[in-house]
Amino acid sequence: MSLNNKIKDFDPNGLGDLNGNIYGLPFNTDEAKLVIIPVPWEVTVSYQTGTAEAPEAILEASYQVDLYDPFVPDAWKLGIAMSEVNQHIKLKGADLRENAELYIEKLSQGFKLEHNHELQGILSEINQACTELNHWLKGESSALLNQKKVVAVLGGDHSTPLGLIQALADKNPSFGILHIDAHADLREAYEGFEFSHASIMYNTIKIPQISHLVQVGIRDYCEAELNLIQTDNRIFTFFDRDLKQQQYKGKNWAEICDSIISLLPNNIYLSFDIDGLDPKLCPNTGTPVPGGLELEQALFLIEKLVHSGRKIIGFDLNEVAPGSDEWDANVGARLLYRLANMCLISNQ
């Protein structure tokens, strides 16, 4: 069936088609304008696990999402699809996670890496596997970008999108990152893991094409990260405490959003860690932190970003851990849909 006929025959007001793609949409990845790559990987997480289950849980929850988007007329027609979850990556990550837990436990007990060959072996194995994951994702992303697709990553933990960002750097001479998160993620090789979920932004600013890193909602960080924020003139961090104090003193959110957006260049990569939101919206995420943004507050910022004429060249959503009640997946599915729609609108 042709794409036009699929759109003509699809009822956006009906039940999601369980035989369809994400959100029950009728598009496959060849037809879609935006392709979501699921990355079920959480090898280096340092607290609670569960994010590797997010892609499948969000896919399941997506069939319950109504397709009307108040910001994007006929959003469902834009063309969103998700690739199949790579079970080999998921199983490999689960095996490595067991070794990572042993490694982290021994470090916490006072074992020294430089004197322990077992720990050195585990660390080397995990760093090599993460390097291979990045290469795989970069290859998958590059192939889709070459087909003129917009690409998004659905993690997994926050280490997962680096390969996509590297692929975009090959296609774009310069772009900025808008980073919504509870954590600065600027640690260098946290716990020895070169590609830790706590090091994703440290790794991205190594990429020469990254001109700006604008962080929003940060409320959990170490002194070394603060020193980097204060000394690297590409990094602009809007700490959650400061944002709230500005509002308590009478500054409205729209004005604050304008000041955030003014620091961003025309081309933007959006990196969204679900724990940037208030933890009542993501109680099972790996490292929840009190405070944070409301869902519509975060979306208002991104809507204003799109209104400003800036282009979202790609994005990721990470650190959703479904939990037993699937509340986090419910929130994640709705957030993912809105992000995808705004990303596509910004590319028109």
Helices marked H in the chain: 3-9, 54-62, 87-108, 117-146, 162-171, 200-204, 223-231, 240-248, 253-261, 295-307, 327-347
Q: How far is CA 249 from the centre of its chain?
A: 31
Contact 339, 270 (CB under 8 A): yes
Contact 34, 151 (CB under 8 A): yes
Identify the domain containing residue 40 by its residue range.
3-347
In angstroms, the Cα distances linking 202 to 24, 96, 205, 241, 303 are: 37, 23, 6, 22, 27
In angstroms, the Cα distances linking 296 to 30, 70, 228 are: 32, 12, 30
Per residue of the chain (348 residues), give pLDDT as tens: 677 888 888 999 987 666 679 999 999 999 999 999 999 999 988 678 899 999 999 999 999 999 999 999 899 999 999 999 999 999 999 999 988 888 888 878 887 877 788 889 999 999 999 999 999 999 999 999 999 999 999 999 999 999 999 999 999 999 999 999 999 999 998 888 899 999 999 999 999 999 999 999 999 999 999 999 999 999 999 999 999 999 999 999 999 999 999 999 999 999 999 999 999 999 999 999 999 999 999 999 999 999 999 999 999 999 999 988 889 999 999 999 999 999 999 998
pLDDT (0 to 100) of residue 111: 76
Judged on CB neighbours under 10 Å (0-12, 13-18, 19+), 250 is exposed
The model's pTM is 0.95
Count structural domains, the chain.
Answer: 1
Contact 27, 296 (CB under 8 A): no
Output the domain CATH number for residue 269: 3.40.800.10
pLDDT (0 to 100) of residue 129: 95
